[in-house]
Structure 1
Amino acid sequence: MLTGDLVRLRAFEPSDAELIWRWNNDPEVGRWMFGGYPESAAQIARRFEELPRNSYAGTFLGIEPLDAPRLIGSVRLRDAAPETGAAELDLRIGDKDYWGRGYATDTMRVICRYGFEDMRLYRIALTVVADNVPARRVYEKVGFVEEGRRRECFRRGGKWHDMIIMGLLEGELR
């Protein structure tokens, strides 16, 4: 397990699928997330039973608070390539009781430290909806900088939103 000041990151278990299904169906949790087509709880459970082993190419971990053994979110480093030393990062705090309390920031520091030190990455990138101000604050707090913008490419609530491309290089983590 990977541990920070507030969180531990651990591999997913098949029993986590039901909670993921609930988060996937909560409009507030999924407001700024790219969503696929609706999945049943059984489909998610099957997918969790078949999750590939965490590896250099992709590491998908559950987030738990240190003081309670309960899943509150997920974080993933994906599409890692040793040729470029780069990966993409996805983060979701699904348990709304843990929003705005430092858990996302601590998770970002833990997963980025893991990416730079253990995976030997040089660059970690992510995309975020421009209007998702709380997420942008978290990313900036740990050192991510805006590197570009894709205009009006994400539709939510009948409105098009810009996506911001952010990056963090080895040595910039705060």
Structure 2
Amino acid sequence: MFVTGERVRLRAMEPEDAEALWRWNHDPEVMRWMDAGYAQPLARVRAWLQERPRNGYDDVLFGIEAPADPGAGGAGGGRRLVGLVRLSGAAPEIGCADLDIYLGEKEYWGRGLATDAVRAACRYGFEAMRLHKVTLTVVVENEAALSVYRKVGFVEEGRLREVFRRDGRWLDKYTMGLLEGELK
């Protein structure tokens, strides 16, 4: 099963995706605004993808595929894994899930693919999962991500003070939310 956007296709992550995921997670530029955790060997990333439970209501992890040629738009050619998007922490009793996303292939940055992937993932959450709300946190200085979230319809709901450390400074994060009728 695929979830499609205008230019991206979302699909379940596979153990074969481990090398790309490992490479992205070890690229400081890709992980700049992420809570990266600790470096893991490739074998551990592969094992995590093999052992993780299949996608279910409480945790849906999608690989983001885009046209293999970054300049090709939505037409023709093969597809390439360029990032991931995840809806997690959902429970039917609360109708809410947390969203995480990143594009690991830097030549695909700034082409609208993250916006398309967020929109597709949220649409899936509202329609297939019957969610009422999708939430996220984002570092206040991460202007690219804020632009994506605002285009899709997320609004700032609060500010978490000094919860993210980068370059020797403590930075704030916004909490943002999107209700099911607000998707743009």
> Which range, TM-score by smaller chain?
over 0.9
Counterpart of 1:16?
17
- How much does 1:13 deviate? 1.1
Deviations 1:37-82 (A, max 9, x none): 1100111011111121101111001000145321100000000011
Counterpart of 1:50?
51
- Tell me how far apart the structure 2 counterparts of residues 128 and 68 of structure 1 sit (CA, whole Å): 32
Identity %: 58
SS of aligned partner of 1:71: strand
Uncovered stretches (5+) of structure 1, i.e. residues with no partner: none
Counterpart of 2:179?
169
Q: Does 1:116 align with 2:126?
A: yes
- Tell me how far apart the structure 2 counterparts of residues 33 and 121 of structure 1 sit (CA, whole Å): 25
Pairwise CA RMSD: 0.8
Deviations 1:147-167 (A, max 9, x none): 000011100111111010000
Q: Does 1:97 align with 2:107?
A: yes
- Tell me how far apart the structure 2 counterparts of residues 68 and 165 of structure 1 sit (CA, whole Å): 36
User: Which of residues 72, 75, 79 in structure 2 aligns to 1:69?
Assistant: 79
User: Which of residues 113, 124, 146 in structure 2 aligns to 1:136?
Assistant: 146
Uncovered stretches (5+) of structure 2, i.e. residues with no partner: 68-76
Q: Does 1:81 align with 2:104?
A: no
- Tell me how far apart the structure 1 counterparts of residues 155 and 78 of structure 2 sit (CA, whole Å): 32
Counterpart of 2:71?
none
- Tell me how far apart the structure 1 counterparts of residues 94 and 16 of structure 2 sit (CA, whole Å): 35
Task: Note closer, same or farther for the CA distance 1:41–1:117 as it changes in structure 2 (3 Å cut).
Answer: same
- Tell me how far apart the structure 1 counterparts of residues 119 and 148 of structure 2 sit (CA, whole Å): 10
SS of aligned partner of 2:94: coil
Counterpart of 2:70?
none
- How much does 1:95 deviate? 0.5
State TM-score, norm by structure 2: 0.93
Counterpart of 1:150?
160
SS of aligned partner of 2:182: coil
SS of aligned partner of 2:121: helix
- How much does 1:125 deviate? 0.1
- Tell me how far apart the structure 1 counterparts of residues 97 and 13 of structure 2 sit (CA, whole Å): 20
- Tell me how far apart the structure 2 counterparts of residues 157 and 47 of structure 1 sit (CA, whole Å): 29
- How much does 1:96 deviate? 0.3
